[in-house]
Amino acid sequence: MKIRRDYTTFKQIVSSKSLQIFLGETRSDYYNLLAIDGPVTYECNVLKDNGNDQQDYELNIAPTITSKISTEPDWDDFIVTLPSNTQELHTYKRNNVTVQTVLTTYTSAAKTQILRIQKTRV
């Protein structure tokens, strides 16, 4: 189970449980931090906006991280819009092999409310 938290809460959880922080996906606009506690993975994204969170992370946390893990290695997400403008088919692939499809049906063409989600694993 993955639980996403803001940076301050993430640091509090990690500290109180003495968890190790891992660096997940690093993107141009944020750092992805992960801490594993048995079946639970805590996750936090630190924006690269030169704000207090980024400065604290780079000064106090980044130098202590020795391991990097990937949250979803080699995954591709394809979205196919079906002829009906109220449905989308999301196809998740790993190494070019389809592993899951998700059909999302909306109540209207504006896609403001989801009516049904149908997931299929291969």
pLDDT in tens, 77-87: 777 778 888 88
Per-residue pLDDT at 13 exceeds 80: yes
pLDDT tens digits, one per residue of 28-68: 889 999 998 888 889 999 999 999 999 999 999 999 887 77
What pLDDT is stored for residue 53 in this prediction?
97
What pLDDT is stored for residue 73 in this prediction?
47
| Average pLDDT over every residue of 17-33 | 87
**Is the dihedral angle over the CA atoms 22, 26, 33, 62 positive or is it negative?**
positive
DSSP character for 50? S
Domain segments of the chain as ranges: 2-64, 75-121
> To the nearest 5 percent, what fractions of the chain are helix, strand and coil?
20, 50, 30
Separation between Cα atoms, residue 116 and residue 20, nearest integer Å:
38
Q: Are residues 22 and 37 in contact, defined by beta-carbon separation less than 8 angstroms? A: no
Q: Which residue has the higher pLDDT, 10 or 118?
A: 10
| Average pLDDT over every residue of 7-14 | 96
pLDDT band at 101 (very low <50, low <70, confident <90, very high): confident
